């Protein structure tokens, strides 16, 4: 699930930082400052969020402040006052708001100052020292505001720094400013009315943020990593060390002998600078969560997956429009599947086998038991007091393992069935386990009698070409999807000894020929079809399956389950997607408009979200039903001067549906672009006018980039 917010990481051991909790925010959060037991989040249109973090494992919102037409993106604190920078969208100005948080549960605005007109000028950062606020503005430099009377903030000084003024930190009588291609600028602010530059150092990249500790300034230099500058003599700063991160270095903070930097694509990196000339990375935290599988139980979703961080995530579904992460357990190994029953989560945990987690308190998950199968566990099903685990390794560990879980603290293997090339997935129905596994020339559905778990016997099988992705069983039919060919196979298992293929369905427009997950509910089969998104197939007549609806995901649809009127879909980039789909049997069908997931009737270009955004934003658009017309879609990004910044898609072939495109704030050369207003333009041609090149639909909207 692509969820942003306040992420709390334990850095007690800098070599092994561990996630403690995540408090979600509407926009993902733009900036945060922590003071005492409280974290203050600049949460764009959602305002200032005040979170009690006295117990890091259970952060709790206790206060909130918002102002109509304001979008908060920077925040700092001094004593009992919060100072925020935001955009007043009503009058197109950047504003400074001063908020009294002496009572965090009831924050009150006490002062307000319009700084500069937006988007001509963009305030980038804010710092407070004694009775003054210092604001950096990209093109205007340093602005000094007297806040001795918080209700009447007054501008008293200004210094126009060269380059693009970004991050700022105050240390003693000096302001240290990360000034883009002009490097680090050091400004004497002993007299705030007449700030003066006394020294500078031109870094090799683009200085974006800065922190100071002792005699050193640490500069986040975008493409040139972390630069360490000796400022013992601020008139002659000198570089003494550097560390090259893997991608763009954007933020920096210090504590003791450690520097914490945020790398755009590779998360939090922890650098030991005890020897400033030879800084060394000693730890990192990175969480690009790729979810593999999902289970629903009551009002909670249980997701397993990995990337660099492996684990079990618990999501509260009380508000389906705003699912909230409430629990996390680090599984260490890579989990592939999960089933939940009676207060326990049973996880197929890769090379570690079966992992059993007590989930009765979602905020405090505890390992109850485990059983190390001899292969790599990839699937799990529960029936009565038994867990059925499948391994996919070509050795004696491959196949089906039956684990007695009557006592979850002491799981015991009581039976196994060997599959030479390993198993992929398992489903249980009546007294049979339906296991799909690999053979030398393709895949095989093995039907295993489990009436006596200690003595397993294959009673029937069906050979399927290609590599299988998943299996689901419903009454007399098994539904198998091909990972390598994008085919749904429907197998009649009314007689388990003679399984028979009675129907199949090719996923349309599936150029990568992929299908990963499958679920069945009533007369409908739901397929997670990779880049073809979600496909809904009517299997009321299993001999002639028909597609009656689909949903286009932003990247690869990985897995799917259906509970009641809701579809829970896992996407490789967007994470958990929840779709409402009323029971198809209650919806009328006709020849002209087959059952669908609210297929659009008109063209539409939707507002990007989040907006403003800092690193990534999603642009959605809709293409209407029109007698099987093929559309050719282009989506462009322009800057304020009308220059083309990036072509996101160009003449891509699409049909009816809603689509999502992500812009990462870069141009066509892969370079980060500056803050400001950008325009995105959708242009649609149809198969009827492709020769004339006259669009059937064109629309442009604006968005705001603020890092």
Q: pLDDT per residue over 310-327, tens digit each? A: 889 888 888 776 677 788
Whether the upstream peptide bond of residue 119 has omega within 30° of 0, thus cis, is: yes
- Tokens 């996630």 belong to residue: 19
User: What fold characterizes domain 467-598?
Assistant: Lipocalin (2.40.128)
pLDDT at 287: 58
The whole-number average pLDDT for the span 617-643 is 82
Selected residue with higher pLDDT from 63 and 551: 63
pLDDT at 564: 83
The whole-number average pLDDT for the span 443-470 is 92
Residue 272: strand pairing partners: 258, 280
- Range name among 8-17, 577-586, 647-656 with the lowest pLDDT average: 577-586
Q: What is the CA radius of gyration of the chain?
A: 29
- Range name among 33-47, 118-132, 330-344, 504-518 with the lowest pLDDT average: 504-518
pLDDT at 58: 86
Tens-place pLDDT, residues 393-419: 644 547 899 999 999 999 999 999 988
Q: Is the pLDDT of residue 157 over 90?
A: yes
Q: Is the pLDDT of residue 207 over 70?
A: yes
Do 5-220 and 288-465 fold alike per CATH? yes
Q: Is the pLDDT of residue 685 over 60?
A: yes
The whole-number average pLDDT for the span 463-481 is 92
The percent of residues above 70 in pLDDT, for the chain, comes to 89
- Label residue 576 by pLDDT band (50, 70, 90): confident
Q: Is the pLDDT of residue 510 over 70?
A: no
Q: Is the pLDDT of residue 593 over 60?
A: no
The whole-number average pLDDT for the span 303-308 is 74
- Give the residue ranges of DSSP H helices in 237-347: none
- Label residue 120 by pLDDT band (50, 70, 90): low
The whole-angstrom separation of Cα 114 and Cα 129 is 20
- Label residue 690 by pLDDT band (50, 70, 90): low
pLDDT at 588: 33
The whole-angstrom separation of Cα 487 and Cα 472 is 14
- Range name among 34-38, 460-464, 598-602 with the lowest pLDDT average: 598-602
Q: Is the pLDDT of residue 355 over 90?
A: yes
- The highest-level CATH class for domain 288-465 is mainly beta
Structure tokens at 404: 């007695």
Q: Is the pLDDT of residue 173 over 60?
A: yes
Q: What single string gives the DSSP state of each residue in 114-177?
A: EEEETTTS-EEEEEEETTEEEEEETTTEEEEEE-SSTTS-EEEEEE--SS----EEEETTEEEE
Contact yes or no for 2/573 (Cβ under 8 A): yes
Question: Domain coordinates of the chain in residue numbers?
Answer: 5-220, 288-465, 467-598, 604-705
Contact yes or no for 226/209 (Cβ under 8 A): no
- Tokens 């240390």 belong to residue: 171
Selected residue with higher pLDDT from 39 and 140: 39
pLDDT at 626: 66
- Give the residue ranges of DSSP H helices in 500-584: none
Structure tokens at 200: 């500078």
Q: Is the pLDDT of residue 8 over 80?
A: yes
261: helix, strand or coil: strand
- Label residue 599 by pLDDT band (50, 70, 90): low
The whole-number average pLDDT for the span 456-478 is 93
Q: What is the DSSP letter of 476?
A: T
- Range name among 78-87, 116-125, 669-678 with the lowest pLDDT average: 116-125
- Tokens 């934003």 belong to residue: 617
CATH architecture of 604-705: Sandwich (2.60)
Cα-based distances in Å from 14 to 260, 308, 356, 413, 532 = 10, 17, 29, 39, 42
- Label residue 591 by pLDDT band (50, 70, 90): very low
Selected residue with higher pLDDT from 10 and 218: 218
Q: Is the pLDDT of residue 289 over 70?
A: no
pLDDT at 4: 60
585: helix, strand or coil: helix
pLDDT at 21: 78
Structure tokens at 79: 């004593």
Tens-place pLDDT, residues 53-88: 999 988 899 999 988 878 888 899 999 999 998 887
Cα-based distances in Å from 213 to 83, 195, 575 = 23, 22, 39
Q: Which CATH number fits domain 5-220: 3.90.550.10, 3.30.1490.270, 2.130.10.10, 3.40.50.300?
A: 2.130.10.10
The mean pLDDT value of the chain amounts to 86
pLDDT at 512: 55
Selected residue with higher pLDDT from 29 and 700: 700
Contact yes or no for 363/327 (Cβ under 8 A): yes
Q: Is the pLDDT of residue 38 over 90?
A: yes
Structure tokens at 348: 């197929």
pLDDT at 636: 95
Q: Is the pLDDT of residue 596 over 60?
A: no
The whole-number average pLDDT for the span 598-624 is 76
- Range name among 115-124, 301-310, 491-500, 680-689 with the lowest pLDDT average: 115-124
Q: Is the pLDDT of residue 49 over 60?
A: yes
pLDDT at 652: 86
Contact yes or no for 483/466 (Cβ under 8 A): yes
Tens-place pLDDT, residues 649-671: 998 888 777 787 888 888 888 88
pLDDT at 589: 32
Q: Is the pLDDT of residue 592 over 50?
A: no
């Amino acid at each position: 699930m692509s969820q942003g917010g306040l992420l709390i990481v334990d850095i007690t051991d800098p070599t092994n930082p561990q996630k403690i909790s995540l408090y979600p925010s509407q926009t993902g959060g733009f900036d945060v400052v922590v003071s005492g037991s409280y974290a203050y989040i600049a949460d764009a249109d959602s305002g200032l969020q005040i979170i009690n973090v006295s117990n890091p494992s259970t952060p709790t919102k206790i206060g909130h402040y918002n102002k109509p037409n304001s979008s908060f993106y920077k925040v700092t604190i001094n004593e009992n006052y919060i100072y925020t920078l935001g955009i007043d969208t009503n009058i197109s100005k950047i504003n400074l708001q001063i908020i009294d948080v002496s009572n965090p549960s009831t924050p009150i605005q006490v002062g307000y100052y319009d700084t500069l007109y937006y988007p001509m000028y963009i305030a980038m950062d804010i710092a407070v020292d004694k009775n003054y606020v210092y604001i950096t503005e990209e093109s205007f430099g340093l602005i000094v505001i007297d806040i001795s009377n918080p209700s009447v903030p007054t501008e008293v000084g200004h210094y126009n720094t060269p380059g693009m003024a970004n991050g700022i930190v105050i240390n003693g009588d000096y302001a240290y400013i990360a000034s883009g291609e002009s490097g680090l600028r050091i400004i004497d602010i002993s007299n705030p009315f007449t700030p003066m530059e006394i020294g500078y150092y031109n870094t090799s990249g683009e200085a974006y943020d800065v922190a100071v500790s002792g005699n050193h300034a640490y500069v986040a230099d975008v493409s040139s990593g972390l630069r360490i500058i000796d400022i013992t003599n601020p008139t002659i700063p000198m570089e003494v060390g550097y560390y090259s991160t893997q991608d763009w270095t954007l933020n920096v903070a210090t504590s003791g002998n450690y520097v914490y930097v945020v790398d755009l694509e590779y998360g939090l990196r922890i650098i030991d600078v005890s020897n400033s000339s030879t800084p060394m990375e000693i730890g990192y935290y990175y969480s690009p969560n790729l979810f593999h599988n999902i289970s629903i139980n009551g009002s909670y979703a249980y997701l397993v997956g990995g990337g660099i961080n492996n684990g079990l995530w618990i999501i509260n579904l009380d508000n389906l429009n705003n699912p909230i992460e409430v629990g996390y357990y680090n599984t260490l190994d890579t989990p592939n599947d999960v089933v939940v029953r009676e207060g326990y989560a049973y996880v197929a945990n890769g090379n570690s086998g079966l992992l059993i987690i007590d989930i009765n308190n979602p905020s405090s998950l505890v390992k109850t038991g485990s059983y190390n199968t001899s292969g790599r566990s990839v699937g799990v099903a529960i029936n009565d007091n038994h867990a059925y685990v499948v391994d996919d390794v070509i050795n004696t560990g491959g196949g089906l393992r039956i684990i007695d879980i009557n006592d979850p603290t002491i799981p015991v293997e009581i039976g196994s069935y060997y599959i030479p090339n390993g198993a992929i997935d398992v489903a249980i129905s009546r007294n049979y386990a339906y296991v799909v596994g690999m053979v030398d020339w393709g895949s095989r559905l093995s039907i295993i009698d489990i009436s006596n778990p200690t003595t397993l016997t294959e009673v029937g099988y069906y050979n399927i070409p290609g590599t299988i992705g998943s299996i689901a069983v419903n009454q007399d039919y098994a539904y198998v999807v091909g990972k390598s060919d994008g085919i749904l196979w429907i197998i009649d298992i009314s007689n388990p000894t003679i399984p028979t293929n009675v129907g199949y369905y090719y996923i349309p427009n599936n150029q990568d020929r992929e299908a990963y997950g499958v679920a069945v509910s009533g007369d409908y089969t739901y397929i997670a079809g990779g880049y073809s998104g979600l496909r809904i197939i009517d299997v009321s007549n299993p001999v002639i399956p028909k597609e009656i609806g689909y949903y286009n995901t932003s990247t690869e649809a990985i897995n799917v389950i259906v509970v009641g009127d809701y579809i829970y879909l896992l996407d490789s980039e967007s994470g958990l997607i929840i779709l409402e789909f009323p029971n198809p049997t209650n919806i009328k069908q006709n020849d002209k408009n087959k059952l669908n997931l609210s297929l659009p009737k008109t063209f539409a270009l939707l507002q990007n979200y989040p907006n403003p955004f800092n690193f990534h934003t999603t642009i959605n658009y809709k293409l209407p039903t029109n007698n099987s017309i093929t559309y050719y879609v282009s989506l462009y990004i322009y800057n304020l001067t009308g220059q083309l910044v990036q072509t996101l898609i160009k003449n891509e072939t699409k049909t009816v549906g809603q689509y999502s495109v992500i812009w990462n704030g870069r141009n066509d050369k892969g370079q980060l672009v500056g803050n400001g207003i950008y325009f995105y333009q959708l242009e649609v041609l149809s198969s009827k006018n492709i020769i004339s090149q006259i669009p059937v639909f064109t629309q442009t909207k604006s968005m705001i980039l603020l890092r």
